[in-house]
C-alpha cells in the first residue's frame, strides 16, 4: 500500500496528514507478550492453521492508518484507561465463577474494544482479511470513536448493533504452559447458520476474550445472550464471567492445539 512518507488521508479524521505507524493490536498488549518471546497466530478459523511464531513477524506488523492527532486520541482517550482497567487499576472482586470490576466507564471501554476491531477492518494486511465491514459502517464507527459518543440518532446507539462481551479465560488444569494471560489470539469469526444469526468476532489478549456480536436487528440473539453473560453495559461496575478455556468454543481448538504442541515439545 502506501509508504509512510508524504501525505495521505487519515482513516479516522479523513484529513490529509503524515500518517503514523499504527498497530492494529494495541502496542500495550504487544509489549506484554514480547516478554514471552513468542506470539500466537491464527490464520483462520481452523485449528490446523494455528501456529506459534516468533515475535516481530506478524505481530510487529503495523500500517500507516492514522495521523498523529488520531493516534493520540486513541491512546489517551481509550487505551490508557482500558488497559489500566483490565490490569486491575480499580477494585476487582474475585467470586466463584465471575469477577466484579469496579470503576467501569462504559463508553470509553466499549469504544476501546470496538476501535481494535475497527482498525482490523481498515487494515490491508492479509492477517485481518476476515474482518470486513461495509464502507458506511466503518465511517459510522469512526465517527463514534472521534466524538467519543455512541449515539447515532435520537433513538439509535452503536451498541444496539455491536454487543460486546468480555470473558475472563481461565486454565484451571494448567494444561497450557504458555499462560493464557500472555497470549494474543487475533480476530477470528464465527457465524450462525443463517445470516440473521449475525456474526461474532472474537479476540483474546491478557486473558480476556473480547466477543463482538454484530447483528443488524435490535434484538440480541437469545442463544448468544444465554451463553455469554459478560455483555458490557452502562454501569459503574461489571460482572465478568470466568470460563475455562476448554468450554469456550471460539478458542477451545486453538488452545487445545497449543496444549498438544507443548506436550509434544
Ligand atoms: Zn486523523
Residue 95 binned pLDDT confidence (cut-offs 50, 70, 90)? very high
Contact 124, 1 (CB under 8 A): yes
Quote the ligand 1 centre to 60 CA distance (angstroms): 22
Quote the ligand 1 centre to 143 CA distance (angstroms): 11
pLDDT confidence of residue 192: 63
**Which residue would you say has higher pLDDT here, 104 or 157?**
104
Residue 11 binned pLDDT confidence (cut-offs 50, 70, 90)? very high
> What value does the mean pLDDT take over residues 56-77?
82
% the chain with pLDDT above 70: 70
Quote the ligand 1 centre to 20 CA distance (angstroms): 10
Quote the ligand 1 centre to 70 CA distance (angstroms): 4
Each domain of the chain, given as residue ranges in start order, spans 38-58+93-264
Quote the ligand 1 centre to 18 CA distance (angstroms): 9
| 227 Cβ contact partners less than 8 Å away, ≥ 6 residues apart | none
* Cell numbers at 227, concatenated: 451463553
Closest CA to 124 of 61, 189, 212, 190: 61
Quote the ligand 1 centre to 47 CA distance (angstroms): 37
**pLDDT tens-place string over residues 121-163:** 999 888 788 888 889 999 999 999 999 999 988 888 898 888 8
Quote the ligand 1 centre to 222 CA distance (angstroms): 38
pLDDT confidence of residue 86: 95
Quote the ligand 1 centre to 72 CA distance (angstroms): 9
**pLDDT tens-place string over residues 164-205:** 999 998 887 766 555 677 777 777 777 766 656 678 888 888
Amino acid at each position: 500500500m502506501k509508504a509512510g512518507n508524504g501525505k495521505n488521508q487519515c482513516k479516522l479524521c479523513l484529513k490529509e496528514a503524515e500518517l503514523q505507524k499504527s498497530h492494529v493490536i494495541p502496542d500495550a498488549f504487544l509489549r506484554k507478550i514480547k516478554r514471552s518471546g513468542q506470539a500466537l497466530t491464527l490464520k483462520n478459523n481452523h485449528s490446523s492453521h494455528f501456529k506459534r511464531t516468533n515475535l516481530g513477524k506478524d505481530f510487529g506488523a503495523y500500517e500507516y492508518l492514522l495521523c498523529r492527532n488520531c493516534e493520540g486520541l486513541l491512546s489517551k482517550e481509550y487505551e490508557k484507561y482500558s488497559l489500566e482497567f483490565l490490569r486491575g487499576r480499580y477494585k476487582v472482586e474475585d467470586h466463584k465463577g465471575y469477577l466484579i470490576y469496579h470503576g467501569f466507564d462504559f463508553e470509553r471501554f466499549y469504544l476501546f474494544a470496538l476501535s481494535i476491531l475497527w482498525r482490523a477492518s481498515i487494515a490491508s494486511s492479509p492477517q485481518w482479511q476476515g474482518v470486513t465491514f461495509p464502507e458506511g459502517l466503518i465511517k459510522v464507527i469512526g465517527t463514534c470513536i472521534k466524538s467519543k459518543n455512541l449515539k447515532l440518532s435520537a433513538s439509535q446507539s452503536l451498541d444496539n448493533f455491536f454487543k460486546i462481551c468480555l470473558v475472563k479465560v481461565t486454565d484451571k488444569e494448567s494444561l497450557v504452559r504458555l499462560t493464557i494471560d500472555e497470549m494474543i489470539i487475533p480476530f477470528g469469526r464465527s457465524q450462525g447458520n443463517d445470516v440473521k444469526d449475525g456474526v461474532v468476532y472474537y479476540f483474546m489478549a491478557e486473558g480476556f476474550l473480547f466477543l463482538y456480536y454484530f447483528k443488524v436487528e435490535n434484538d440480541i440473539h437469545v442463544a448468544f445472550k444465554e451463553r455469554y453473560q459478560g455483555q458490557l453495559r452502562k454501569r459503574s461496575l461489571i460482572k465478568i464471567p470466568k470460563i475455562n478455556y476448554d468450554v469456550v468454543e471460539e478458542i477451545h481448538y486453538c488452545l487445545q492445539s497449543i496444549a498438544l504442541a507443548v506436550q509434544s515439545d
